[in-house]
């Protein structure tokens, strides 16, 4: 690739980084010299790099000590693995110094992991981002050899969302009727529109959310995997959205596809689901009570952002509430390829979430006004301690708060927005 063009792009990127106003996030890049930031497109990975670079500039570092490149730049379409060395040569010619490396959306370049490994071995400080869960595959982890720390970047949590809206949510603020009402209104917006950072302050978010979904769908799923059956995978994603909160097997997905004339082979359906997971559109949750084979084939799937999920739903607030709880648990405990920290439990009765390390059980129910619903949700939490250790049992609602007691102790009923701010 032409060196002069590379130098021009490096200078353009420097101006872009310092121009952005960055909202502080709850996530931080550790001082470990090599880091991988992964997550769905537009979740804020680039801004985290910007924040780190701006922080270093305030501390007295200069651009002669840092190199930032965004591989989404269309001028880098011809960039290949051999050009990584040329990139280092460009910085050396411009500044004569060894830089810290900040490489954005690096998954666009084939064999990037070999360069990253070489830089880590040479004691470079290097931070990379990517929108593809394949970046965390076992093969790549073997190549990187444990030299990189991984940080999963999700859309805004609710506490980040209220901070962006400058909403006071200290305990005393929420005691007042006005303060509590404002928090509930903000949560209702967050529940339906999600937390993608760039959409947080938009007055009308649907068009933006639709454009982000189209980019994930057309770019990160269809184009990256050379899928020709565009109609088939579009129907499958819609059916997955309509099945959020329910365990679903690959055979069940196949049957749902057949019912709307979108029949695919079982192997193709499995592969399409995997592609959606690799693009961070879908996140898988396994059944703690299942045998190994069933854990893999009969799972729940959640969408990475409520705003994207809500593009497919009409009047499904209960599903949106459970999806937002799943995302919060993944933020808290992580969601790697094996995801052995957060589960659901389903054997004769279902508990929405179970976290073994904290012995935490969570049910999600939009409203408890219906007696049958209350008996079902509370009953599942009362049965679970007979099978699994439960130090804490929580029933999350939209805005109801109380508690129940049984032979195993207390079941807390907490508004979801309050739990997410806790």
Residues spanned by CATH 1.10.10.10 within the chain?
191-421
pLDDT at 337: 67
What are the residues facing 362 on neighbouring strands? Answer: 353, 394
Which residues does the chain have with pLDDT short of 70? 30, 136-139, 260-262, 291-296, 337-338
| 304 neighbors 283 (Cβ within 8 angstroms) | yes
pLDDT at 261: 64
Burial 135-145 (b: 16+ CB within 10 A, else e): bbeeebbeebe
pLDDT tens across 28-51, in order?
776 789 999 999 999 999 999 999
Which of these, 76, 24, 84, lies nearest to 50 by C-alpha position? 24
Name the CATH code of domain 191-421 (choices 1.10.10.10, 1.10.3720.10, 3.40.50.300, 3.40.720.10): 1.10.10.10
pLDDT at 298: 85
- CA distances to 192, 196, 210, 218, 239 from 214, in Å: 18, 14, 6, 6, 17
pLDDT at 144: 81
Residues spanned by CATH 3.40.50 within the chain?
3-152
pLDDT at 121: 94
pLDDT at 215: 94
pLDDT at 280: 94
| 133 neighbors 277 (Cβ within 8 angstroms) | yes
pLDDT at 292: 63
Q: What is the 3-state secondary structure (H, E, C) of 120-136?
A: HHCCCCEEEEECCHHHH
pLDDT at 141: 74
Name the CATH code of domain 3-152 (choices 2.60.40, 3.10.290, 3.40.50, 1.10.287): 3.40.50
């Amino acid at each position: 690739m032409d060196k002069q063009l590379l130098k021009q792009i490096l200078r353009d990127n420097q101006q872009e980084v310092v121009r952005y106003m960055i909202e502080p996030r709850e996530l931080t890049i550790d001082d470990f010299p090599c880091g991988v930031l992964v997550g769905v497109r537009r979740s804020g990975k680039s801004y985290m790099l910007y924040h780190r670079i701006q922080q270093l500039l305030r501390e007295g570092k200069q651009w002669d000590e840092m190199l930032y490149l965004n591989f989404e730049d269309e001028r880098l379409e011809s960039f290949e693995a051999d050009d990584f060395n040329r990139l280092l040569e460009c910085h050396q010619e411009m500044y004569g110094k060894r830089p810290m490396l900040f490489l954005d959306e690096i998954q666009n370049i084939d064999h990037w992991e070999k360069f990253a490994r070489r830089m880590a071995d040479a004691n470079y400080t290097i931070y990379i981002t990517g929108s593809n869960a394949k970046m965390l595959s076992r093969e790549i982890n073997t190549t990187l050899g444990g030299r990189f720390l991984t940080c999963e970047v999700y859309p805004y949590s609710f506490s980040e969302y209220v901070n962006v809206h400058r909403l006071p949510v200290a305990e005393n603020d929420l005691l007042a009727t006005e303060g509590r009402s404002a928090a509930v209104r903000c949560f209702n917006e967050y529940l339906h529109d999600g937390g993608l950072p760039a959409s947080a302050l938009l007055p009308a978010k649907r068009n933006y959310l639709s454009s982000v979904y189209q980019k994930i769908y057309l770019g990160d799923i269809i184009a990256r995997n050379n899928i020709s059956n565009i109609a088939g995978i579009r129907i499958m994603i819609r059916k997955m959205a309509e099945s959020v909160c329910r365990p679903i097997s690959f055979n069940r997905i196949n049957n749902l596809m057949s019912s709307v004339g979108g029949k695919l082979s079982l192997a193709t359906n499995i592969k399409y689901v995997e592609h959606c997971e690799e693009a961070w559109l879908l996140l898988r949750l396994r059944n703690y009570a299942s045998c190994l084979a069933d854990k893999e084939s009969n799972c729940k799937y959640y969408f990475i952002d409520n705003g994207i999920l809500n593009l497919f739903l009409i009047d499904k607030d209960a599903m949106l509430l459970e999806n937002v709880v799943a995302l919060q648990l993944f933020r808290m405990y992580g969601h790697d390829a094996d995801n052995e920290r957060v589960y659901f439990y389903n054997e004769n009765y279902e508990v929405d979430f179970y976290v073994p390390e904290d012995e935490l059980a969570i049910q999600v129910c939009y409203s408890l006004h219906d007696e049958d619903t209350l008996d079902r949700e509370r009953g599942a939490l009362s049965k679970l301690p007979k099978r699994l250790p439960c130090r804490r049992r929580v029933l999350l609602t939209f805005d109801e708060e109380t508690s129940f007691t049984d032979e195993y102790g207390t079941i807390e009923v907490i508004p979801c927005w309050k739990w997410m701010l806790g």
